[in-house]
């Protein structure tokens, strides 16, 4: 019995030792698995972070690429319009004939859609592209969606049944953009503009004209809205560059603007045949400004056009208030005179004018009045233009029919502040090529 009990005890101890070894082994395996799971978790987290980074970078790159593509599309808008214009022109005649023959009771959109069927596939897609671009400019909040539509249309996946290009979008693609713009009668403060449009397409068209000064930080300002294809712009500033643009209006909606068009108003004396350049014009204006602020300067007499007789001169120049004369001799001497008092047609009258002066364009000099009681003379009949005293023949005289006769300068009595007897013409007797007289309107 004792031996048997001992054997069992030894056997139990072996089993316990074996079980302990088994438990120790299992614990180690479990710990190893936990470590592997932790490593795997870390790797998974790293991969997730990499995926997130890649996702963010991809989104950023896509946004950047989309923005660049969008900007490129906007820049290409004018090119697309120009290409579209060329393509539409090819079928314009057929479309016009169709619209003319269509029954007035047919709805406008149905007529346009039928007309579009006559266009070939490339033209249709180009029209659709332009339609989307036009929408894009008008509706920025839908930019993403419309850009996607534009991308699809560029692939020429055109579905005629799904197309819904409105009449206004179709005609704004180029047919009704104002063209053949002309400037007429440009002056110091106004200009007449005219433009052309094919009004066979619609009788509902109006136009909007906007203008602003070039290089001035200001918005375009509307100056005309109506159905006429010409307009006179007034109240402009002299010698200034302006920019303007025109668009068609249908059903209250603006079509594309024309390109910005530039023009420049004229300076005073822009129509003179005697004053040669801007510097001379500015010099005369400076002399006149010493007598008051100028509102306008108007040509009222030119000898070669209006006649060189005393009658012709006074018909144009009498009772005009302040005037300035310009004279050019056959030897190309150029001079003139300013008076502020009215010229009147009356025999043997000396006119007093303390504001009068003579000047020489060649010498760039002004000669002020010294003896104002003899500033100029109205001596109709034998003389036309006289600066000086008619009773003693001193001053400068243009005779009746002065273009074909000899005229005289004798400044010996110094009625004006001249340095010599013949400082204006260089000789006592001289012949004249041209005389111009401008009316000065002061503010």
Is 364 exposed, middle or buried (CB count within 10 Å of its CB: 0-12, 13-18, 19+)?
Answer: exposed
Domain-located, residue 421: yes
Asked if residues 407 and 432 have their Cβ atoms less than 8 Å apart, the reply is yes
Starting from the edge strand earliest in sequence, which strands make up the sheet with 191-196, in order?
179-184, 191-196, 230-233
Q: What pLDDT is recorded for position 338?
A: 96
The enclosing domain of 224 has a CATH number of 2.60.40.10
Q: What pLDDT is recorded for position 199?
A: 53
Q: What pLDDT is recorded for position 148?
A: 46
Q: What is the mean pLDDT of the chain?
A: 78
pLDDT digits (tens, 9 = 90+) for 124-173: 555 555 554 555 444 444 544 554 454 444 443 334 344 343 434 444 44
- How many C-alpha atoms does 390 have within 13 Å on its Cβ side? 20
Domain-located, residue 26: no
CB atoms within 10 A of CB 280: 18
Asked if residues 388 and 396 have their Cβ atoms less than 8 Å apart, the reply is yes
Q: Which two tokens stand for residue 293?
A: 């602020």
More confident position, 282 or 92: 282
Does residue 157 sit in the same domain as residue 258? Answer: no
Does residue 167 sit in the same domain as residue 220? Answer: no
More confident position, 384 or 270: 270
Domain-located, residue 58: no
Q: What pLDDT is recorded for position 289?
A: 92
Q: What is the mean predicted confidence (pLDDT) over 341-345?
A: 85
For residue 110, what are the domain limits? 76-171
Does residue 350 sit in the same domain as residue 248? Answer: no
Q: Does the pLDDT of residue 50 top 60, yes or no?
A: yes
Does residue 283 sit in the same domain as residue 416? Answer: yes
Does residue 146 sit in the same domain as residue 289? Answer: no
Does residue 102 sit in the same domain as residue 145? Answer: yes
| Residue at which a domain ends, from 264, 297, 317 | 264
Closest by CA position to 222, among listed 211, 230, 206, 233 = 211
Domain-located, residue 159: yes
**pLDDT bracket for residue 58 (50, 70, 90):** confident
Domain-located, residue 133: yes
pLDDT digits (tens, 9 = 90+) for 396-421: 889 889 999 999 998 888 999 988 88
Q: What pLDDT is recorded for position 144?
A: 43
Ranges assigned E (strand) in 201-293: 206-213, 221-226, 230-233, 241-250, 253-254, 261-264
Q: 5-9, 342-346, 414-418: lowest mean pLDDT where?
A: 5-9
More confident position, 90 or 353: 353
pLDDT digits (tens, 9 = 90+) for 172-206: 444 467 888 888 888 888 999 998 876 545 456 78
Q: What pLDDT is recorded for position 259?
A: 87
Does residue 203 sit in the same domain as residue 146? Answer: no
Q: What pLDDT is recorded for position 42?
A: 82
Q: Which two tokens stand for residue 422?
A: 């013949």
Q: Which two tokens stand for residue 236?
A: 């402009």
Q: What pLDDT is recorded for position 143?
A: 46
Calculate the CA 359 to chain-centre distance: 39
Domain-located, residue 399: yes
Does residue 417 sit in the same domain as residue 394? Answer: yes
Does residue 165 sit in the same domain as residue 187? Answer: no
Q: What pLDDT is recorded for position 380?
A: 58
Q: What pLDDT is recorded for position 152?
A: 47
Q: Total structural domains in the chain?
A: 3
Q: What pLDDT is recorded for position 23?
A: 65
Domain-located, residue 199: yes
Does residue 300 sit in the same domain as residue 434? Answer: yes
CB atoms within 10 A of CB 130: 25
| Residue at which a domain ends, from 215, 241, 264 | 264
From CA 193, how far away is CA 443, in angstroms rounded?
Answer: 28
Does residue 126 sit in the same domain as residue 197? Answer: no
Domain-located, residue 57: no
Q: What is the mean predicted confidence (pLDDT) over 343-348?
A: 73
| Residue at which a domain ends, from 171, 198, 229 | 171
Does residue 219 sit in the same domain as residue 125? Answer: no
């Amino acid at each position: 019995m004792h031996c048997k009990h001992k054997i069992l005890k030894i056997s139990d101890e072996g089993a316990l030792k074996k079980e302990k070894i088994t438990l120790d082994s299992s614990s180690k395996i479990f710990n190893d698995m936990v470590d592997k799971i932790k490593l795997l978790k870390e790797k998974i987290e790293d991969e997730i972070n990499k995926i997130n980074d890649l996702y963010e970078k991809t989104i950023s790159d896509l946004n950047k690429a989309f923005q660049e593509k969008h900007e490129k599309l906007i820049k290409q808008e004018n090119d697309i319009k120009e290409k579209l214009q060329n393509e539409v022109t090819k079928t314009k005649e057929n479309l016009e004939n169709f619209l003319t023959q269509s029954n007035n009771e047919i709805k406008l959109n149905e007529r346009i859609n039928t007309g579009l069927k006559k266009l070939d596939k490339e033209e249709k897609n180009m029209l659709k592209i332009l339609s989307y671009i036009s929408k894009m400019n008008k509706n920025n909040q839908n930019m993403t969606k419309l850009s996607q539509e534009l991308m699809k249309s560029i692939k020429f996946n055109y579905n005629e049944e799904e197309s819904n290009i409105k009449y206004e979008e179709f005609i704004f693609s180029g047919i009704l953009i104002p063209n053949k713009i002309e400037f007429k009668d440009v002056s110091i403060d106004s200009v007449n503009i005219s433009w052309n449009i094919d009004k066979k397409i619609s009788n509902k068209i109006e136009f909007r004209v906007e203008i602003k000064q070039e290089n001035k930080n200001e918005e375009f300002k509307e100056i005309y809205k109506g159905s006429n294809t010409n307009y006179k712009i007034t109240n402009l500033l002299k010698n200034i560059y302006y920019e303007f643009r025109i668009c068609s209006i249908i059903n209250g909606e603006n079509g594309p603007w024309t390109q910005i068009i530039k023009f420049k108003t004229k300076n005073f004396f822009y129509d003179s045949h005697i004053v040669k350049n801007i510097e001379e014009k500015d010099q005369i204006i400076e002399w006149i400004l010493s007598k008051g602020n100028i509102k306008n300067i108007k040509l009222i007499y030119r000898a070669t056009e209006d006649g060189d007789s005393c009658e012709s001169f006074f018909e144009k120049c009498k009772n005009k208030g302040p005037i300035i004369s310009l004279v050019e001799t056959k030897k190309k001497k150029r001079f003139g005179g300013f008076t502020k008092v009215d010229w009147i047609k009356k025999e043997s009258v000396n006119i007093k004018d303390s504001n009068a002066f003579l000047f020489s364009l060649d010498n760039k000099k002004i000669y002020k009045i010294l003896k104002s009681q003899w500033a100029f003379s109205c001596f109709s009949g034998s003389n036309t233009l006289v600066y000086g005293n008619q009773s003693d023949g001193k001053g400068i005289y243009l005779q009746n029919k002065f273009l074909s006769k000899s005229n005289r300068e004798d400044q010996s009595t110094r009625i004006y502040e001249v340095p010599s007897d013949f400082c204006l013409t260089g000789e006592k007797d001289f012949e004249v090529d041209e005389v111009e007289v401008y009316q000065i309107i002061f503010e």
